[in-house]
Structure 1
């Protein structure tokens, strides 16, 4: 685990949806910022005197590409000191102390089972990194199901990119599902749980489950997956909030 602090430079910011932004951060003191897809970084933000109350952790949304730059996608939390600072005070050129990479929410060395990547909101970030990494390096794999829950279509992150990846990456299925969909939405409706249960209801394939999002979703998914007869060691999680 990497415990070094670096100086991160914000090189680009894009408003992705009404309440999410993409931040590109460069670590100029390194030629390469090496990490595994699924890992996260911790930012030290000037929002509190006590250092641990200044720290905010975010999954890296980009696949490692051999450069010293990476991407984060961050949702503005109402009343959240960290995201309020990032949205209101940070611009291109802002310096932010960065620690990482951190975390063990990473792919198995051998992808010898079906892979279920189940997420809500910005929890799609590590799965975007994983899917692109598998595609770029042509890593042998079984079926990959990215099951992504949001309220409305306008909340979906990286939608066009993930539809394109479904066309290009063999065995990759992108399943966005909306809990408050509007007229015209022809995709899946409801919550993520119905999707993986339906996929696994026909034949219970050996699988790895990766869960990323809010606690309620993760707790319910774990219960349902265990209820289908899978082992707790098949389940990996990254909690948000």
Structure 2
């Protein structure tokens, strides 16, 4: 049975960066919107006659908190019909047709191995949801590494929040890495996400779950490299964007 569609109401919109926006959507016909951290919703946008050309899916960036409101973080894609509509036409008070929650990109039952959350761009959304959920519910866990790839400092989503979470959540490590930043103001990691998890596991291949979320090229390369390190396919969980 397919999930039914609900009419959501946009309650708040803020610009997170120069090309990303955070949208809060309330679903009035539900008392609470229950979902597992990592799941997504599909929006039906009035941008085409054909249904399947109107649908756009976005990971839920907020964590389940018992309310009927969720947050999505969306990047404006050049020439993208869906995001152009969301950025140009949708205002606070607008209605959006959505269904969900959907998807199997969720945490394992027990967090008895290290977790490597590897992402680029808005791929941070499901990991923000998972990390807050682990923190709020004080779920026992091993090390959690959020390895987040962006081009420049200005592209980073939720940086202050992730630093605060690192201070609050034991054994949670926020590791942003920038591939093109030359500015003197950046003393963090430079380069791509792959070198970071490879370095961390080169001395000792310890049991781990790898969650990959972001652009296809990053995910394909990560999958290949993780398998080359001797991990099994079932250690790798992925959510593709674009």
Report deviation, 1:93: 0.6
**Which residue of structure 1 aligns with residue 36 of structure 2?**
36
**Which residue of structure 2 aligns with residue 229 of structure 1?**
230
**Which residue of structure 2 aligns with residue 141 of structure 1?**
141
Distance 2:42 2:108 in 1: 23
Distance 2:12 2:96 in 1: 13
Report deviation, 1:50: 0.5
Distance 2:180 2:9 in 1: 37
Query: Structure 1: where are the runs of 5+ without partners?
Result: none
Conservation of the 8 A alpha-carbon contact between 1:2 and 1:100: no
**Which residue of structure 1 aligns with residue 53 of structure 2?**
53
1:150 corresponds to 2:145: no
TM alignment of 1:1-241, pairs within 5 A? 3-181=3-181, 182-241=183-242
How many residues are paired up? 241
Give per-residue Cα distances to partners, 1:173-209, cap 9 Å, x unaligned. 0000000112220000000001100111121110000
Distance 2:199 2:189 in 1: 12
What's the TM-score, normalizing by structure 1?
0.99
Q: Which moved more, 1:115-124 or 1:196-205?
A: 196-205
Distance 2:159 2:185 in 1: 16
Give per-residue Cα distances to partners, 1:50-104, cap 9 Å, x unaligned. 0110000000000000000000000000000000000000000100111000000
Q: Which moved more, 1:83-92 or 1:196-205?
A: 196-205
Distance 1:2 1:194 in 2: 41
Query: Aligned in 2, Cα 1:52/1:189: closer, same or farther, shift over 3 Å?
Result: same
Conservation of the 8 A alpha-carbon contact between 1:121 and 1:149: yes
Distance 1:161 1:33 in 2: 23
Give per-residue Cα distances to partners, 1:23-44, cap 9 Å, x unaligned. 0000000000000000000000
Distance 1:4 1:125 in 2: 24
CA RMSD, Structure 1 to Structure 2 (Å): 0.8
Distance 2:17 2:240 in 1: 22
Query: Aligned in 2, Cα 1:2/1:106: closer, same or farther, shift over 3 Å?
Result: farther
What's the TM-score, normalizing by structure 2?
0.99
Distance 2:37 2:199 in 1: 27
Distance 2:206 2:63 in 1: 27
Distance 1:23 1:184 in 2: 30
- Where 1:23 maps in the other structure, the secondary structure is strand
Report deviation, 1:2: 6.3
- Where 2:162 maps in the other structure, the secondary structure is helix
